[in-house]
Amino acid sequence: MDYKIDTNCVQAGYTPKTGEPRVLPIVQSTTFKYDTSEDMGKLFDLEASGYFYTRLANPTCDSVAAKLCALEGGSAAMLLSSGQAANFFAVFNLASAGDHVVASAALYGGTFNLFSVTMKRMGIEFTFVDPDCTEEELSAAFRPNTKALFGETIANPALAVLDLEMFARVAHAHGVPLIIDNTFPTPVGCRPIEWGADIVTHSTTKYLDGHATSVGGAIVDSGKFDWMAHADKFPGLTTPDESYHGIVYAEKFGQGGAFITKCVAQLMRDFGSSPSAFNAFLLNLGMETLHVRMPKHCANAQAVAEFLQAHEKVAWVQYCGLPGDKYYERGKKYLPNGSCGVLSFGVKGGRAAAETFMKRLKLAAIVTHVADARTCILHPASSTHRQMSDEELLACGVAPDLMRLSVGIEDVEDIIADIRGALEGI
């Protein structure tokens, strides 16, 4: 049955048979029992599908991955222990030492560090491009050894909205997949695969969980990238894997299964960034209300953005729902039902005024988090992004005075009253 997204949020991924638990069971077991060694051997050789060790796969986690796969419109998906692990695995599944990747410069700070420092030490070089670059500029960043193009639908915290269609067109013209981190809009707000993305990643820690209970990540494959048509670029998918008796992933698991199977069989096996079944259970509970929560986050954020824009002590507001915002038109195209609950702004009086403002807030909490049910706020330059120089901050679209406000799903009048009171103290 082809259900609509609201139904899939509630029901996809787990369908109990008669007499089985109505609610997704937590399979809290590291191991699985088999009658014969031959049965288990088939699993080890990827000749049969099933479970043998939770580092590689677990039924609870797989059900939740299947739900996200349905929401994004993908062919296969996997959960990971964090969004960082998801972005690392998604890129490292394609690129090895000596390879090159093009990425938007407007990225989550952790991802920027992963790419520019840690993966660079592994011999993978990244070129960062302006998220608003032209098609020609983007194309010029590619090299013969480029293996992927990477970007965020809505950048955290820069809130730049990516031109997904253009990025997909350029990636495909160079014979590589487009990887999109879709954490902020969630599939309720945008499904990047419909705009040409090949691989979608998530920090499920944010809206998908929605309650700030569990750090987690996910990768969804669209199944649309033809690895065999670019076989020389992606030998890991198109030539025999000696660690699995010479299996060729793209042949054995097809276009829809190769990427995720390789990612689990090699990277999860070797790096072990596995989510816990219990965290997956909590993530599933969150996703059951995703379609109810996201419109409320968007409506509240829109009202708060309009309030801030009209306030005399506010220097600037960035939210793509505001007419006149740099990303208003792109937002209308890619996020027609609203972007997310996160907006950024600065107050008149710079850093000192911002600190006074933050101190006076009562309802909005200062936390290193965004995108959960509770309103929260952060000053990236003095917290999450403090390892970056001012030049690097500006290059990824984070002004030193930027405050990032994650609007929750409380009553919007209470949220606005809290902000109004804090502004009065400046």
Ligand X SMILES: *Cc1c(COP(=O)(O)O)cnc(C)c1O
> Which residues in this chain contact ligand X in the complex, by CB under 6 A?
82-84, 87, 108, 110-111, 152, 156, 181, 183, 203, 205-206, 215, 217
Measured at CB, which residue is nearest to ligand X?
83
Distance of closest approach, residue 86 Cβ to ligand X, in angstroms: 7
Between 111 and 238, whose beta carbon lies closer to ligand X? 111
Between 79 and 423, whose beta carbon lies closer to ligand X? 79
Cβ(381)–Cβ(401) below 8 Å: yes
Between 157 and 321, whose beta carbon lies closer to ligand X? 157
Q: Does the CA dihedral 393-397-400-404 come out positive or negative?
A: negative
- Strand partners of residue 150: 103, 179
Nearest to 260 by CA among 99, 75, 111, 83: 75
Distance of closest approach, residue 51 Cβ to ligand X, in angstroms: 25
Nearest to 400 by CA among 315, 320, 328: 315
Between 178 and 258, whose beta carbon lies closer to ligand X? 178
Distance, C-alpha 304 to centroid of its chain: 25
Cβ(261)–Cβ(44) below 8 Å: no
Between 347 and 396, whose beta carbon lies closer to ligand X? 396
Between 108 and 128, whose beta carbon lies closer to ligand X? 108
Cross-sheet strand order for the sheet of 146-152: 76-80, 217-221, 199-203, 178-181, 146-152, 100-104, 125-129
Distance of closest approach, residue 300 Cβ to ligand X, in angstroms: 19
- Helix or strand (DSSP H, E) at 318: strand 314-318
Distance of closest approach, residue 262 Cβ to ligand X, in angstroms: 22
Distance of closest approach, residue 32 Cβ to ligand X, in angstroms: 27
Distance of closest approach, residue 140 Cβ to ligand X, in angstroms: 26
Distance of closest approach, residue 398 Cβ to ligand X, in angstroms: 13
CA within 13 Å, CB half, 162? 37
Radius of gyration of the chain from its Cα atoms, rounded to whole angstroms = 22
Q: Which amino acid is residue 94, in one-letter code?
A: L
Between 83 and 223, whose beta carbon lies closer to ligand X? 83
Between 183 and 300, whose beta carbon lies closer to ligand X? 183
Nearest to 131 by CA among 173, 102, 92: 102
Distance of closest approach, residue 376 Cβ to ligand X, in angstroms: 13
Which whole-number Å values give the CA distances from 150 to 186, 217, 250, 394, in the listed order? 17, 16, 22, 19
Nearest to 111 by CA among 129, 133, 88: 88
Which whole-number Å values give the CA distances from 202 to 184, 251, 275, 324, 362, in the listed order? 9, 27, 13, 29, 30
Distance of closest approach, residue 41 Cβ to ligand X, in angstroms: 35
Between 24 and 371, whose beta carbon lies closer to ligand X? 371
Cβ(156)–Cβ(186) below 8 Å: no
Nearest to 131 by CA among 101, 109, 156, 163: 163
Distance of closest approach, residue 43 Cβ to ligand X, in angstroms: 29
Nearest to 403 by CA among 325, 315, 327, 321: 315
Between 82 and 266, whose beta carbon lies closer to ligand X? 82
